[in-house]
Structures are given as C-alpha cells and as structure tokens.
Amino acid sequence: MNKYLTVNRIEFAVTYLCNGRCRHCYSIQGKEEFPNHIDKSLAVKIVRKVGEKYSPESIMTFGGEPLLFPEIVCAIHKEAMDVGIPSREIITNGYWSKDAKKTKEIAKNLAESGVNNIIISVDAFHQEHVPLNIVRKTTGACLKVGIDNIEWNPCWVVSEDDNNQYNQETKSILEELEDLPIRKSEGNVMEPAGLAIANLKEFLPQKEKIPAGKCGDMPYTDPLDSVKGIFVEPDGKIAVCNDLYIGNAFDTDIIEIIESYDPFKIPEMRAIIEDGMKGLINWAGTKGVAPNPGGYYSICHMCTDIREKVRLK
C-alpha cells in the first residue's frame, strides 16, 4: 500500500461533452483536447484492478454529461458492483434523451448495472438548458426501476443564503419539484473557475496576490501527501487533484501508477506540501514564471494557472 495515496474512491470523467453549456460550468472549460469519451475496456480494467486490490468505498461517474454514453457508464458500474464497491454514484443533468422510451431503457440498464445513487443537478443554470419536464420524466423512470436514492444537487451563488437572482430562481425550481419523493442535498457553491470567471465575475470573491488556504481546505481536495482517491480523465490520465497527473493508465498499469506515487519526488507537489502557495511561487520562479500580478480567486485558481504557465513555457 502507498502511504501517500489510499484509494477509498474512484472518480471517472466519462466525457467532457455535454448537452448544455451552463454559464457557471468549470468542468468542460478548456477540455477540448480530450477524446469524446473514455475507452470502455480501459475504464473497466481500472475498476477491476483497483477494486480488487484496494476495496474502495465509492465510485462516481460524471462529465460533461456522462449519460451521453450510457453503455460506458453502465459497464463501469457493473464492474464496480461485481468487485464489491458499495456506493456507485452518477452526477447528471437528467437530460438523457428526447425519447421517453430511451430514457426508460437507460434507467433500467443503470439499475441492472448496480447504480445506487443518482445526483441530479437542478438550479438556475442547468434549467436554462434542461426543461423540468425532462427532469421529471428521468426521475420517474429511475424510481420505477427501483433506483430510489436520488437527490437534487443545486449550485448556489456566493452561498445558499445570499439573496441574488440566481439563488432566487434555484429556490423557485426546487419548490416546483417538491411533489417528488427526492431529497435535496446541500449542493455546492459556484467555483471561481471556468465559465463562471467569464460570465459571473460580479459574484466571485476578491482576488488576492497569494490566496489563503492549503490543499485539503478547498472543496474536493486532499493534502497531496494524504490523498484518498483517484480521478480518471477521458484519455486515461490519472490525477490526484484537478490536473495534477501522476500517470496514464493507457501507458502504465494502474496499480503501478498508484503504488509508485510519491509527491515528494514531484517538484511542484513537494513545493506545495512544504510551503503552500509561497512554495509553488518559488518553484515557478526557478522556471522563469511569475504569478499573475492581478492576483487569484483561490489557491486552486493560482495553482492551476502557475503550473499551466510552467508547462507551456
């Protein structure tokens, strides 16, 4: 086992294609270089090998919109069920097909493949692209085939309590759905990344030259020397955080990638672990790269920007 990486969770970006283009989206921005979807046989192999060796607690598929490719999603979750991963989750916008019969077929296949948690994004942003009647039909199809662990996952702007027009619209949408037997999750707060920076700048926090915080404090992050899961990109690259890649499962066996992970042998990771964003700045300086003088919204924004500039130099 690797003391720096415990695989309690596997996450798959099945695709970065989407049938919407939400104005706040951070996941599809800048992802044009990826293939349309992950290779199904590679994904299944990763699940089987990681599942058998590490017994992770959960697996998730998302995108983009993962159910543009339902066969791949079902294959991933079927393998997860077969190797005993107990929590098998999908994040989706609920728009699987214009054809109600096709939606019912997808729901049936998801149930048979062992999916036991469906998280549906509903908010002011998603409903610009996905009509609520479509969401209702999708939810009904899932309930009918026995997938009853379903939750609404709204995205809030600034915070759930902030009384802006987007939150007001989101609350109105959730009220319209109250007749359905679906619980509402806490959701998430819009991240200062991707399309949100272009479209919703007035709602983002003030930039700082060196933002406060460290890995593990930010949503969906772990300290780089105590990672709890892996993230699989559509091209097979394996990440431990955002775009911090440690190998490609097309080129190297997934177990070898996991077992050989040592953040102290990766200069930028070591710099972050030892001295946070100041360490990252010093490391980038040795490469001739300086931080943006205008500052950054968060440590994740800063980390991604600086490493990208080094990569492109």
Nearest to 98 by CA among 90, 110, 106: 106
Contact of 113 with 75, CB cutoff 8 Å = yes
pLDDT confidence tier of residue 313, bands split at 50, 70 and 90: confident
| Sheet with 227-232, side-by-side order of all strands | 183-184, 150-152, 117-120, 87-92, 58-62, 5-13, 227-232, 237-241, 244-248
pLDDT surpasses 80 at 240: yes
Contact of 62 with 12, CB cutoff 8 Å = yes
pLDDT at 185: 96
pLDDT surpasses 80 at 119: yes
pLDDT at 219: 86
Q: Average the pLDDT over 3-30 and give the result.
A: 92
- In angstroms, what is the C-alpha Rg of the chain? 20
Contact of 94 with 151, CB cutoff 8 Å = no
Q: Render pLDDT for 188-234 as a digit per residue (tens, 0 to 9).
A: 999 999 999 999 999 999 999 999 999 988 888 999 999 999 999 99
pLDDT surpasses 90 at 10: yes
Question: DSSP letter at 122?
Answer: -
pLDDT at 59: 98
pLDDT at 8: 98
Q: Render pLDDT for 249-264 as a digit per residue (tens, 0 to 9).
A: 999 999 999 999 999 9
* Mean pLDDT value across the chain: 96
pLDDT confidence tier of residue 242, bands split at 50, 70 and 90: confident
Q: Render pLDDT for 259-298 as a digit per residue (tens, 0 to 9).
A: 999 999 999 999 999 999 999 999 999 999 999 999 999 9
Contact of 242 with 37, CB cutoff 8 Å = no
Report the share of the chain in percent with pLDDT over 90. Answer: 92
Q: Render pLDDT for 20-72 as a digit per residue (tens, 0 to 9).
A: 999 999 887 778 889 999 999 999 999 999 999 999 999 999 999 999 999 99
Q: Render pLDDT for 123-139 as a digit per residue (tens, 0 to 9).
A: 999 999 999 999 999 99
Q: Average the pLDDT over 144-160 and give the result.
A: 97
pLDDT at 254: 98
Backbone angles phi and psi of 158, in degrees to 5: 70, -60
CA distance 253 to 251: 7
Classify domain 5-205 at the CATH superfamily level.
Aldolase class I (3.20.20.70)
Q: Classify residue 175 as exposed, middle or buried by CB count within 10 Å of its CB (0-12, 13-18, 19+).
A: exposed
pLDDT at 306: 97
Instruction: Say what the pTM is.
Output: 0.96
pLDDT surpasses 90 at 1: no
